[in-house]
Structure 1
Amino acid sequence: MPATTWIQHSVIFTLKHAEGSELEQKFLEDGKAILSSIPAVQQFRVFRQVSPKNDYKFGFSMEFADQAAYEAYNAHPLHVSFVEERWVKEVEAFLEIDYSEV
């Protein structure tokens, strides 16, 4: 992949927490605060999934200027820590999709 290729990173997921619970809200808020603070992350958004076509409940979406920025995000200590300490423990199911423009 060329170094200049912009990347849209999206992950849709369902949490183990009860719907509407404080734990659910805290995960979404913490995810946004922690992950959006990583320098390579642009346009971080949190979504509630509304389609009846799948069972996922939420989405995180963010953009990266290029492959190097995406790799820096994946290796960043805040991302690694969030995945190990929160994601693995609190997410029931997920699907990750990375896009670049054609």
Structure 2
Amino acid sequence: MSQNSIIHSVIFSLKHEKGSAEEQRFLEDGKAILSSIPTVKDFRVLRQVSPKNTYDFGFSMVFVSEADYEAYNVHPLHVDFVANRWEKEVAQFLEIDYNEL
């Protein structure tokens, strides 16, 4: 990974009951939809295990450049997922973007 690469992470909790089919469907759909965007690399779905915060899950992905990250942000699949799934099903989230030093 180069210094221009961006690690985009979002940690979140869902409105769905823990362990529910709706929760699993959101995580699976998120992975299928978002990882299919061409500029997304190394997409991961993560379960948060620390007792130090109230979030339950994480999505993490890598972009090789700022341009690739911007292309992701405006990609129709991302825009649709945010509008029709994320905004309706996510209870809380924190977004973090990193560059390697």
The normalised TM-score by structure 2 is 0.97
Identify the residue that residue 97 of structure 2 maps to in structure 1: 98
Aligned to 1:56: 55
Counterpart CA distance in 2 for 1:5 and 1:83 is 25
The Cα shift of 1:86 comes to 0.1
Report deviation, 1:10. Answer: 0.1
Where has structure 1 moved over 4 Å in runs of 4 or more? Answer: none
Corresponding residue number in structure 2 for 1:24 = 23
Aligned-residue RMSD, C-alpha: 0.7
1:33-66 per-residue CA deviation (whole Å, 9 max, x = no partner) reads 0000000000000000000000000000000000
Q: Tell me by how many angstroms 1:18 deviates.
A: 0.0
SS of 1:50's partner is: coil
* Cα distance in 2, alignment partners of residues 12 and 101 from structure 1: 19
**Equivalent residue letter for 2:27:** L
Unaligned runs of 5+ in 2: none
Structure 1: unaligned runs, 5 residues or longer: none
TM-score, length-scaled by structure 1: 0.96
The percent identity for this pair of structures is 70
Code of the aligned partner of 1:68: A
**Displacement, 1:74?**
0.2
Cα distance in 2 for partners of 1:101, 1:38 equals 22
**Number of residue equivalences:** 99
